[in-house]
Amino acid sequence: MTLTAFWRIIVYMGINKKKNVSLWVLRIALTLACALTFAWIFSNSLKTGEQSSAQSLAVTNSVQDVAQVIAPSSSVATATGDDYDKLHSLIRSIAHVSEFALLGALLITCYFSYTSDKALCIVPFGLILLTPIIDECLQISTGGRGAEMKDILLDTAGGFLGALAGLMIVGLIYLILKKSRAKRERKV
């Protein structure tokens, strides 16, 4: 689906370029959501190593608690020692991918609310590439933390997965609206 097709969807939905309040509400909400997500990501980076570890250990313990209820004999529920460390590492990796997937989805959606210019598409994708680097650089200056290439790769992959999911949802909406429009035209 092209950006022009997406813009047609927006126009079709009744959002015109100058006078429609709903477009500005959407833009403001998406811009605010992007800003809050950036703030959340960077605030996590500014936590000390001890704070970050305590937070992820709490999540790991919660996952284990749930696993003990659902599947008490599973490897997740019974993980100790090295197995617990591997589980903790996996949960941290999932957290990296998840927070940046959210950012990627929001950036793409926000981008489409402002423009359909293909040349400017570099902006959200550039931010998806740049943010993990800034994130890891912030960690260098935080006590007990450091930058890891693995985290940059996980964050970037998460951002691109989120952007892809956002594009797929937009494509699905486009197909639904196209079908609905064709149905209405047949009735007329």
Count of domains in the chain? 1
pLDDT recorded at residue 143:
81
pLDDT of the residue at 3: 59
No. of helices (H) and no. of strands (E), the chain:
6, 0
In a domain, 159, yes or no: yes
Q: Do the domain assignments include residue 82?
A: no
Q: Which domain holds residue 127?
A: 3-49+95-181
Condensed to tens digits (0 to 9), the pLDDT of residues 40-89 reads: 999 999 999 899 999 999 999 999 999 999 999 999 999 999 999 999 99
At 157-182, the pLDDT tens digits run 999 999 999 888 767 767 887 888 88
Q: Is residue 58 part of a domain?
A: no
Query: Residue 16 and residue 23: Cα distance in Å, rounded?
Result: 8
Work out the average pLDDT over 147-163: 95
pTM, entire model: 0.80
For the chain, the residue count is 188
- 86 part of a folded domain: no
Q: Cα separations (Å) of 65 from 73, 84, 86, 95, 165?
A: 12, 13, 16, 18, 30
Q: Is 107 inside any structural domain?
A: yes
Residue 162 lies in a domain: yes
More confident residue, 23 or 75: 75
